[in-house]
Structure 1
Amino acid sequence: MQVNMLEAKSQLSSLIVAAERGEEVLIARNGKPIARIVPYSPPRVKSPGAWKGLAPYSTDWRSPETDQAVERLFAGEDDAPAA
C-alpha cells in the first residue's frame, strides 16, 4: 500500500495496524516513495559467552617480545622498516 504524506498524517493509526498485519506501507511525496512503515522488532542480543569456543585464537600470543612491541606502539614508536 502506498499513501501520500497528507493521507499518512490523517491515517497513521490504521497504517500502523496494516504494517503490524505484515502489509508493506509506503509513504510517498509527490508519488515518489520516501519512507516505509514496518513493525518494530527488538534487536537480538547474544548472551555473554555466546561465542565461547567458536572463535579460534592462538594461545601463544603473549610473550615478552609481543609485550614490548605493544608498549612501543602505545608510546608512538614505529616498528615498521622505512620504505
Structure 2
Amino acid sequence: MKTISAAEANRHFSSLLREVSRGVRITVTSRGKPVATISAADQIGRRERVAARRALLSRLRATPATGTRNWSRDELYE
C-alpha cells in the first residue's frame, strides 16, 4: 500500500487513479494522519461481499437447528 499526503494527492490525482486501476491501494494522509484510502471500486465490492458471507456463515454456525426432522422422498415432492 502506498501512502501520500492530501496536498500531493491533489496535485497528482490522475496518476493516482491510474495506479489504483492497476490494483494499488493508496492511503491519503493529512498532517501525517491517515484520513482516506483510495482503492479500485471492484476491490471494495468484493471485500464487502466476502465480509458479509463470513458474517452470515458465522451466524448460521452459531444458531442451532430447530424444527428439523427427516423427510421422506414423497413428502419432499408434494
Q: TM-score, normalised by structure 2?
A: 0.50
Which of structures 1 and 2 has the larger relative contact order (alpha carbons within 8 angstroms, sep 6+)?
A: 2
Q: Which has the larger radius of gyration?
A: 1
